[in-house]
Amino acid sequence: MSLSAHRPPPTNACEDLIRQMESLRRAIEQQAESGRAALQELPPDRHASAENLLHYLALRGRDLRPLQDQLASLGLSSLGRAEAHVLATVNAVLHNLYLLSGQERSAMSPPDLYKALDARTDRLEQNAISLLGHHPVKRRAHIMVTMSSEAADDYLMVHQLVKGGMDCLRINCAHDTPPTWSRTIEHLRDAERVTGRSCRILMDLGGPKLRTGPMEPEPAVLKIRPLRNSHGQVLRPARIWLTSEELPRREMDAADANIALEQAWLAQLMVGDRVRMKDARGSRRSWRIREVTTDGCWAESKKTTYVSNGTILNLRGDGSDVTQKTIIRKLPPIDSVIRLRTGDVLFMSGSEEPGKSAIHDDNGELLSPGVVSLPIPEIYRDAHPGEKVCFDDGRIAGIVEKIGSEQLQIRITHTRNPVEKLARDKGVNLPDTDLELPALSVKDLKDLEFAARHADMIGLSFANRPDDVRALRERLHELGCENVGVVLKIETNRGFANLPAMLFEALKFPACGVMIARGDLGVECGFERLAEVQEEILWVCESAHVPVIWATQVLEGLTKRGHASRAEITDAAMSQAAECVMLNKGPHIIEAVRTLDDILQRMQGHHSKKRTMLRKLHLASAFQTSRNAITGTA
């Protein structure tokens, strides 16, 4: 609203506002009455939450901005913080309007109004505790951390995370296996016992995540290069670990390249020997042997070398004319990639055959477009021309041009860089396509047998319809695990649109929550709209008294690279609007947990959900101090 839209209220402002508010209250009550049958299917202790959700949907079913301005001009509530207690807020505004108009009539007495407001607010708090556990001592929001595979063999890391502030441990069932998950859980239980802190477990089912299939292998070419400064000068030679083909030792992490060779040839190597070759480009290169051990040899090179299977290595010892040869032949093949530019054509195939790179002639003209495999029949049944397709978290986007029985022809319309590489196992999103895929795959049903016995919460990935939630509840009933909590992961446009209906199903669980999975959701709805969608999910869930998990790319720069951007810090600060904040795995995850813990503690003094908290401002104190210094007062 522009400033010019604000006008002084007319003389009869209160009477007019009373009429508007009474009309609004009737609409809210009618909405609840129309949903009475759905309420009866819920446990009795969920009726109030479901009813408030209906109230909120009725409240937000109209444009309230003019009414907000009129109420604000009288110093009354703008209805902007009514999520947790819609009808009580409307009644409180009406109560004050009647008082301002000089009428005795009121919907409720002040003590009853306070009680109604507090009761609904407390429900969200209680539900968050039921799902996520008791609040940490110094902050309201919980911290969830996704475990890496290494957690199964690294107790110290799990211990440090629990000690540093992790309240929920997330296991992604799309990766690893039950034995790995079991060891991670054992480490968590040991860490809980030692630290005296409690930590819940979320096991996240993989769901129908669309990913590109395998690509045709290409001959391996290994690029080995020394470390250079910005002027191209060598700071240190490339380090090459040479080990035996017959008895290969572990790869050396400190090496720039690991190569397996014939043991008989390796046995002749001595410190100071020179290994000469023509590399894969035909360039003459020489490596110096610097160290010989029982497990292998260290060589170094001051020039960049390209080697492939078939590259011949020639050994000539110092002072010797005899040359011993060996051939590199154990480099594993690498998957091909498809290089894409805006305007290119890409085929997506429902065949099980591996994908293929595009083929060009000697002049660079396209002979055959690249092919990526995605053998899910529903895609080729449900997709239509003109619909959008995104790859690799939106790095590549295109439009469906033609459809075959098992093939889509896609015209690339956007690449984040001038040339992008599309490889195997990259995410695929079809935001415009109404895909009829079950939320629980065959693998999910198997993983659920383990998760239901070991986890406090089950994450339902790509929850799109109420039927998806019902299917999970029915399966948990068959397993005799009805008491486990459930988290609906909102990752698609369809899931977002069906969220209110899915919440009615989720409220049938003893504990439930919603995760804003901003990775796929951002690709589906468009990054420019993500903030709006995120806010709407927070509001609707608060109206149903359902806790929310704020997820994906929180402090990602800090977690992965050891330093966060300014935007990431601001995003983390805003995450306190949710009941839980999730961090992804990374080498600096322990520091990220400590940083997030500090940010959340600071911000909760300023905000509680949407409401600004009037904590004493540092700026106000600083101003008072400076003014006293100027005036000379104490």
What's the CATH code of the domain at 342? 2.40.33.10
Claim to verify: residue 17 and residue 103 sit in the same structural domain: yes
Residue at 355 is within a domain: yes
Q: What is the pLDDT of residue 251?
A: 66
Q: What is the pLDDT of residue 540?
A: 93
Q: What is the pLDDT of residue 621?
A: 54
Q: Residues 478-484: contacts with CB within 8 Å, 24+ apart?
A: 479/448, 479/449, 479/452, 481/452, 481/453, 482/509, 482/510, 483/510, 484/452, 484/455, 484/456, 484/457, 484/458
Task: Name the domain boundary from 403, 429, 455.
Answer: 429
Residue at 521 is within a domain: no
The burial class, CB within 10 Å (0-12 / 13-18 / 19+), for 238 is buried
Residue 339, beta-bridge partner list = 421
Quick check: helix, strand or coil at residue 401? Answer: strand
CA dist 405 and 407 (Å) reads 6
| Contact yes or no for 275/314 (Cβ under 8 A) | yes
Q: What is the pLDDT of residue 2?
A: 45
Claim to verify: residue 271 and residue 357 sit in the same structural domain: no
| Contact yes or no for 86/55 (Cβ under 8 A) | yes
Q: What is the pLDDT of residue 98?
A: 87
Provide the number of structural domains found in the chain.
3
For the chain, what is the radius of gyration of the CA atoms? 31
Q: Which residues contact 175 (CB under 8 A, 6 or more apart)?
A: 149
Residue 402, beta-bridge partner list = 409
Residue at 210 is within a domain: no
What's the CATH code of the domain at 226? 2.40.33
Claim to verify: residue 358 and residue 305 sit in the same structural domain: no
Residue 339 is part of which domain span? Answer: 335-429
Residue at 306 is within a domain: yes
Claim to verify: residue 375 and residue 310 sit in the same structural domain: no
Task: Name the domain boundary from 410, 429, 448.
Answer: 429
Q: What is the pLDDT of residue 624?
A: 54
Claim to verify: residue 253 and residue 234 sit in the same structural domain: yes
Q: What is the pLDDT of residue 6?
A: 47
Claim to verify: residue 363 and residue 414 sit in the same structural domain: yes
Claim to verify: residue 18 and residue 122 sit in the same structural domain: yes
Claim to verify: residue 128 and residue 24 sit in the same structural domain: yes
Residue at 165 is within a domain: no
Residue at 480 is within a domain: no
Residue at 632 is within a domain: no
Query: Using H for helix, E for strand and C for coil, what is the string for 35-76?
Result: CHHHHHCCCHHHHHHHHHHHHHHHHCCCCCHHHHHHHHHCCC
Q: What is the pLDDT of residue 623?
A: 45
Amino acid present at 104: E
Claim to verify: residue 282 and residue 339 sit in the same structural domain: no
Claim to verify: residue 306 and residue 394 sit in the same structural domain: no
Give the CA distances from residue 341 to residues 306, 336, 500, in Å, rounded to whole numbers and listed in that order: 27, 17, 40
Claim to verify: residue 317 and residue 406 sit in the same structural domain: no
Residue at 240 is within a domain: yes
Q: What is the pLDDT of residue 294?
A: 85
Task: Name the domain boundary from 404, 429, 454.
Answer: 429
Claim to verify: residue 382 and residue 299 sit in the same structural domain: no
Mean pLDDT by groups of 10 residues along the chain of 634 residues: 48 83 92 84 93 91 88 82 89 88 68 70 91 91 95 96 97 95 97 96 93 91 92 93 80 85 92 93 94 92 95 77 83 89 95 90 81 94 95 95 93 95 94 89 95 97 95 96 96 93 95 96 91 93 96 94 93 94 95 95 79 50 54 57
